[in-house]
Amino acid sequence: AYWYQSRYGGNSMETNVIVWHSTEGTSLPSYGGGGSAPNLTAQPDFKNKRMVWYQHFDFDTSARALVNRAGGV
């Protein structure tokens, strides 16, 4: 239900850096059905004092969270 790579594909890439996005709130965002999803989402579980991780795209596949606009970002 949270895997979007089948729907949105992506390009293979060599991962050489990691960008962490923070998601405000305790519920998992819908990301517009996956259209703006990152590779991973960490959801806080305050009761158990841990993070629950959801993977939306393979780690070495481009995701949808960042926009590369014409002329650069």
40, 54 Cβ separation under 8 angstroms: yes
Strands 50-55 and 40-45: antiparallel
Query: Residue 24: helix, strand or coil by DSSP?
Result: coil
Within 10 angstroms of residue 68's Cβ, the number of other Cβ atoms is 8
pLDDT tens readout for residues 15-67: 887 777 777 788 888 999 999 999 999 888 999 999 999 999 999 998 888 77
Global confidence as pTM: 0.79
Within 10 angstroms of residue 26's Cβ, the number of other Cβ atoms is 9
> What pLDDT, on the 0 to 100 scale, is given for residue 73?
60
> What pLDDT, on the 0 to 100 scale, is given for residue 58?
94
